[in-house]
Structure 1
Amino acid sequence: MSQSFDIAVIGATGTVGETIVQILEERDFPVGDLHLLASVESAGSSVAYRGKNVRVREVDTFDFSKVNLVFFAAGPAVTRSYAPRATAAGCSVIDLSGGLSVDQAPNLIPEVNGALLSGLAKPFQVACPSPGATALAMVLGPLRDLLDIRRVNVTACMAVSSLGREGVTELARQTAELLNVRPLEPRVFDRQMAFNVLAQVGVPDAQGHVPLEKRMVDELRELLSLPLIKVGASCIQVPVFFGDSLSVSVQTASAFDLAAVGSALDAADGIDLVDAGDYPTPVGDAVGQDAVYVGRLRAGIDDACELSFWVTSDNVRKGAALNAVQVAELLIKELV
């Protein structure tokens, strides 16, 4: 493509923002001018891009009419504050924060519901779902025509990078403290995270559900175009730096052909199906990779309508940054 596009990345100093910049370079995205933006605290730092260090500037003073497209990779409050300014300036928006409602910005995964973009008005305003919902929709998407899915139960083992660089730093600090037999004072998490598993990610509501669980349920229904599907979600925090893992059970209306399920996943874009007898892990397989890895594919022990499997993927890369860039690759075709 000969045409170039001027791009802004908000949250450019965070783990996801930096990975977006890296993937733009890796995939040779047709970037004209690249504007890296962050809060006043992070402004003045720099991020490497195409052999140069690009200076990060303060988002509050940025003129969005300078760019065609902006990635929002900061918090929801930042998106809600600046996305209206961006679209008013004619700039298309890709939000990774969950800060916009589905009516404002439908969730998009190119491999699952990429055709959705053609029905939207310019300037585009679309969202990337949470990493857990992205990984699960990537797996269930190829199975929609094969299985009559009635219910999905997922236990999502979330890496500490789901909290950004702060979570990664905290796990490293806690690990060092414990290995050096020093007293541990939790800071980011409400208790010891190193060598431990926490039963929830975030603060639960009156019914006991954390926001990320409710977000995952809503996003999965939207992405699969199955608004009535029953979904149970539990998000737990595990002492892993990068890479989310999901233990999934799917209830179908009738018995299924497990070999056909495996064939459908093996043929799907973006899926790496691990051979029976083996299984993928975040550290050994997923981290730094573009694929969503699936293993332990099996029918229920005593229920022919139950399908269970294990999923792992890089939550920062495919779960967020790569999906956002892939969405942008679709979007710019509509902007030409």
Structure 2
Amino acid sequence: MSQTLDIAVIGATGTVGETLVQLLEERDFPVGNLHLLASGESAGSSLPFKGRNLRVRDVADFDFSQVRLAFFAAGEAVTRSFAARATSAGCSLIDLSGALDPVKAPGLVPEANPQLLDTLSAPYQLSSPSASSVALACVLAPLKDLLKPKRISVMASLAVSCRGREGVTELARQTAELLNARPLEPRFFDRQIAFNVLAQAGAPDAEGHASLERRLASEIKQLLGEPDLRVSATCALAPVFFGDSLAVSVVAEQPVDVAKVRERLGIAPSVEFVEEEGDYPTAVGDAVGQDSVYVGRVRGGLDDPCELNLWIASDNARKGAALNAVQSAELLIKHYLSKILT
């Protein structure tokens, strides 16, 4: 593409933000001027991009009229503080935090619901769903008409990077303490995460559900276009730096033809189907650093012929967050932004 687009990345110094900048270069995204932004304490650092070191500036001082598209890869508070300023300046945005109204900024996974763009107008507001939702949508969207799902149950074992760089640092610190036989005092997490599994990823609400669990359930209904779908979600934290693992059970309208499911997964875009008998994908061994969602252990139910069970592994920072946002931007440019490219 010969035309270019001036872009801002908010949260550029974070785990997802850095990956996003790398992907813009790897995929030869049509970037004109790239503005790297972060909160005050991170401003002044620099990141490499196409042979140059770009300085990171304070988002509070940025004029969004300088860019046509902004990726919000910081936390919810940052998105709430600056998203309205961006759209008021005529800047389209893709938010990765889940902070925006899902009606005004609906979730997009290009492999699942690209038709969503037909309902939007400029300046465009999109959400890149949670990493678990992206992985789940990539696998279930090509199976939707085959299964006609009635209920989905998800057990998501999340990497600590879902909590940002602080989560990665804390797991590394705790692991070092334990391996050196030193007493452990949890800091970032409320208890030991090293060599352990924490049964909740975030504080529960009055009904016992974490916000990420509610977000996953809401997003998968929207991404599949099934508002009445029943979804059960449990999110736990695993002692893994990067890469989420999901155990998924789907109850279909009719008995599941597992052979057809396997056939469909074998040709699904962005899905790597591990079908060799006895083999299965893992986050660390297969998915981390990759652009595909890995799926295996595809099997019917033990007692219910209408049940399908499968296992999903995906890089949460790359495929689940940064790459989905970049692919969404590519789709947005292809269909809607060509008339305003410089």
TM-score scaled by length of structure 2: 0.97
Give me the whole-angstrom Cα distance separating, in 2, the residues matched to 1:224 and 1:187.
Answer: 38
Corresponding position of 1:289: 290
Q: CA RMSD in A?
A: 0.7
Corresponding position of 1:320: 321
The one-letter code matched in structure 1 to 2:242 is F
Deviations 1:107-155 (A, max 9, x none): 0000100111122100111000000111111111001111121100010
Corresponding position of 1:311: 312
Corresponding position of 2:169: 169
- SS of aligned partner of 1:162: helix
Deviations 1:27-71 (A, max 9, x none): 000100000000010000011111211100000010000001000
Give me the whole-angstrom Cα distance separating, in 2, the residues matched to 1:118 and 1:44.
Answer: 39
- SS of aligned partner of 1:57: strand
Give me the whole-angstrom Cα distance separating, in 2, the residues matched to 1:167 and 1:243.
Answer: 13
Corresponding position of 2:101: 101
Corresponding position of 1:139: 139
The structural deviation recorded for 1:75 is: 0.7
**Matching of residues 1-336 of structure 1 within 5 Å:** 1-275=1-275, 276-333=277-334, 334-336=336-338
Deviations 1:147-181 (A, max 9, x none): 12110001000000000110000000000000000
Give me the whole-angstrom Cα distance separating, in 2, the residues matched to 1:165 and 1:243.
Answer: 14
**Which blocks of at least 5 consecutive residues in structure 2 are unaligned?**
none
How many equivalent pairs are there?
A: 336
**Which blocks of at least 5 consecutive residues in structure 1 are unaligned?**
none
The one-letter code matched in structure 1 to 2:166 is E
Give me the whole-angstrom Cα distance separating, in 1, the residues matched to 2:52 and 2:167.
Answer: 28
TM-score scaled by length of structure 1: 0.99
- SS of aligned partner of 2:209: coil
Give me the whole-angstrom Cα distance separating, in 1, the residues matched to 2:187 and 2:36.
Answer: 29
- SS of aligned partner of 1:44: coil
The one-letter code matched in structure 1 to 2:302 is I
The structural deviation recorded for 1:253 is: 1.8
Q: 4+ runs of 1 displaced by more than 4 Å?
A: none
Give me the whole-angstrom Cα distance separating, in 1, the residues matched to 2:113 and 2:148.
Answer: 18
- SS of aligned partner of 1:110: coil
